[in-house]
Amino acid sequence: MAVPSNVAELLVVRHGETDWNALGRLQGHAESDLNEAGKKQAQAVAEKLASLGLEFAAIYSSDLQRALDTAQAIAEKCQFRSKITVRENLRERCLGDLEGFTRTEARTAAPEALKVFMKNDDSLPIPGGGESMEQLCVRVQDAFEQIASENLGKRVVVVTHGGVLRTSHIIARGLPCIGKVVNASINTFRISDEKEWEICSWGDVGHLQDIGFLNTGFGGDKLSG
């Protein structure tokens, strides 16, 4: 199906499962490699995208390795011969002093950061150089709208993180998504030249049924995890 000339279609994928996902550790900008389940998930989502028979004008990825490894699997399976476009502004929310800790550990190791994280105040940045939800929202909106403006009339793949996806749902529909943002899920957006957002599909995990996935998913705020 052709994409209208005044919109871009973004197939947005969360990276595969990591060691820290499985342990419940908050990642943020910190690195954690795909585990064996995550590598299988990356291959499964790559096979699903390849099976659609669609032409992708570009593949974008966060610069964090867990996203890049997932994007590389997609590029190889889809026989995408151009370079993956790496964007730092597609990174997960920066969690400051919370990065690397479970929430239980953070109660002792980073209590002030955890307190801010759990507050209903989107304007407060997390201590230790972390982002507020408002800052994350501005970054995600800019990142997605930039990609859209570069690809009007085209279809692209974007590999990113749970917090970015949850925030993109808020931008598009004005409220958080129901449930978790699952590793290697596919979520389809259309963004117009007038910066109007539409979610065409959300949370497609049919390709993961034979592999499985965690029933937790970080979405950048206290409701996720």
* Residue positions forming the annotated binding site: 14-21, 66
Contacts of 123-126 with C-beta under 8 Å, sequence gap 24+, read 125/96, 126/94, 126/95, 126/96, 126/97, 126/98
Q: Is 169 a catalytic residue?
A: no
Active-site option among 9, 15, 29, 99: 15
Q: Which residues are annotated as a binding site for substrate?
A: 14-21, 66
Residues 18 and 40: their CA atoms lie apart, in Å, by 11
Active-site option among 9, 29, 92, 99: 92
Q: For residue 22, give both structure tokens.
A: 């499985």
Q: Is 15 a catalytic residue?
A: yes
170, amino acid identity: I
C-alpha closest to that of 129 among 138, 116, 120: 116
Residue 136 φ then ψ, to 5°: -60, -45
Known catalytic residues are 15, 92
